[in-house]
Amino acid sequence: MDIGLMFLFSDFSKLSQKQTFSEVLEEIDYAEELGFDSVWLPEHHFATPGLLGNPLVLAAAVAERTERVKIGIAATVLPFQHPLRIAEDVALVDVLSNGRLMFGVGRGWQVPEFETFQIDQTQSREMFAEALEIITKAWTEDSFSHEGKFWQFKDVSIFPKPVQKPTPPILWTVVTPGSYEKAAADGYSVIRSLNFVSLDTVEIGTAAFEAEIKKQGKELSDYEMPLTAKVYVAPTDEEAERDAAPNAKWFYTALSAFLPGAPGRTKPASGYEQYPDEPGAVAQAAADDLWTWGTAYGSPETVLKQLRDYRARTFTNHWMSWMRIGELPHDKVMKSMELFAKEVMPALREDAEAEVSAD
């Protein structure tokens, strides 16, 4: 059982840029001190909440100031850059971190990002597949050529090569059952998020993934199966309710404003049918049932029960705990991290160890 932190930078619009990154780096330093196993960084462009354009640059900074924690990217949007450039940058961070990088990949979903980068969003699935093929070959072959629909080149070698062989762990970010099935069929782990979809959606997708890997004689425990949830721990349930609930609701209100199809945002012509026809309904649904939409908050005992309940519904062996929720102040985040590490994390690890012993 790995237990990590996820950052979304949803407070970027309220704080100065310098303060935002200083606080996040301090939280990452504290995460390593407290015994967290990983930290995860996102990629988003041109909008808040969630503004970090190049997570690999920040990952390089994290690599230099930490020694132990894994550094996860959740996720690099493959259609937005030349795949050879991505391969070079990821390999360099893997070298700087001495093999601690986990490489999450996605095809992107925000319409304004595709429009600004002048990329046809309806081709994102094909671009994703071709880019991933190129990146994998760049890491595993001394020299290679490629003649594809989107990229063509001859006799190319990239440097440096990753420390991890044959490649750093590659994980797909997924939403639809079809994406889960495709990742499973191709042998990839998946990153699942309760920040953008409900628990029911994650359950359905995970079941599709499990059905596919069982055809190959494998189990969910054979894969890295990260799950993101918003987590806030306070001494009492009442204090946690006061701090966390308004910030979780703030996030979902903001999310509903920049989903495809929200006012002023077009929806792609095809390939993204899973997104809601009325994004505003997301904020209301989440506000009515924050736990189902991935928010676990309360005393250590309450949060432990909530996380156990998530795991009973959908398997995970790697928690990605988003603890810097909405506009929560830095000092409260640090206190929540400490309580979680001292009173929740050990019990989660014991649960996992007991399952292994039982098997």
Give the model confidence (pLDDT) of 70-93 as tens digits. Answer: 999 999 999 999 999 999 999 999
Other Cβ atoms less than 10 A from the Cβ of 149: the count is 10
Looking at per-residue confidence, does 16 or 259 come out higher?
16
Say yes or no: domain 2-255+292-358 is CATH 3.40.50.620. no
Q: What is the pLDDT of residue 275?
A: 65
Provide the b/e sequence for 293-318 (b: ≥16 CB within 10 Å).
bbbbbbbbebbbebbeebbeebbbbb
Q: Is the pLDDT of residue 12 over 60?
A: no
Q: What is the pLDDT of residue 10?
A: 72
Cα(42)–Cα(53) distance, integer angstroms: 8
Supply 120's token pair.
């046809």
Q: Is the pLDDT of residue 234 over 70?
A: yes
Q: Band of the pLDDT at 282, cuts 50, 70, 90?
A: confident
Closest CA to 177 of 158, 190, 195: 190
Region 276-291: mean pLDDT is 81
Q: What is the pLDDT of residue 13?
A: 60
Cα(56)–Cα(71) distance, integer angstroms: 10
Cα(56)–Cα(110) distance, integer angstroms: 20
Max mean pLDDT among 43-57, 61-75, 255-269 falls in 61-75
CA dihedral sign, ordered 190, 191, 195, 199: positive
Supply 213's token pair.
């890997």
The pLDDT tens digits for 95-123 are 999 999 999 999 998 888 999 999 999 99
Q: What is the pLDDT of residue 146?
A: 98
Looking at per-residue confidence, does 277 or 113 come out higher?
113
The pLDDT tens digits for 160-193 are 999 999 999 999 999 888 899 999 999 999 999 9
Q: Where are the domains of the chain?
A: 2-255+292-358
Cα(135)–Cα(157) distance, integer angstroms: 11
Cα-Cα-Cα-Cα dihedral of 234, 255, 11, 14, to 10°?
-120
Strands (E), 115-225: 144-147, 152-156, 170-173, 189-193
- Provide the whole-model pTM: 0.95
DSSP letters, 224-284, are --EEEEEEEE-SSHHHHHHHHHHHHHHHHHHHHHHSTTSTT----SSS-TTS-SSTHHHHH
Q: Band of the pLDDT at 16, cuts 50, 70, 90?
A: confident
Q: What is the pLDDT of residue 11?
A: 62
